[in-house]
């Protein structure tokens, strides 16, 4: 995919995944990479920012002698996800109309 993923959409994608359950960082990165061409080094700043903005919390769980850091969406994160979903729907509808050369005055 040659289209760059804007920060807001990447944030919304992460929040959307986490709205269905908690993930540790590497697994979350792999989940996003199933559909978007992002690097692991891109994900961790996104997760730090979402945590700083109180959209995520973290907790550690032991796994094979090491700790895995899990990310969990907060109530504020659920609200932000709904906002991103609404903004995306509006934006997508406008782009679909432009790409299909529809009447912009409908």
Q: Give the CATH number, domain containing residue 31.
A: 1.10.10.10
Assigned domain for 80 exists? yes
pLDDT at 68: 95
Q: What angle do CA 69, 11, 28 make, to 5 degrees?
A: 35
- Residue-range definition of the domain harbouring residue 20: 7-99
Distances (CA, A) of 98 to 4, 32, 37, 84, 93: 19, 27, 25, 21, 9
pLDDT at 60: 96
Assigned domain for 104 exists? no
Assigned domain for 93 exists? yes
> Distance between CA atoms of 79 and 4, rounded to whole angstroms?
25
Assigned domain for 105 exists? no
pLDDT at 106: 54
Assigned domain for 49 exists? yes
pLDDT at 59: 97
Assigned domain for 25 exists? yes
Residues of the chain with pLDDT under 50: none
């Amino acid at each position: 995919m040659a289209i760059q993923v804007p920060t807001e959409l990447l944030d919304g994608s992460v929040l959307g995944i986490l709205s269905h359950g908690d993930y540790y960082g590497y697994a979350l990165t792999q989940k996003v990479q199933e559909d978007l061409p992002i690097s692991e080094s891109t994900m961790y700043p996104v997760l730090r920012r979402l945590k700083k903005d109180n959209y995520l919390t973290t907790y550690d769980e032991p796994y094979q002698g090491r700790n895995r850091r899990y990310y969990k969406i907060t109530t504020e994160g659920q609200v932000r996800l709904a906002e991103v979903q609404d903004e995306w729907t509006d934006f997508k509808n406008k782009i679909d109309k432009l790409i299909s050369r529809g009447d912009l005055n409908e």
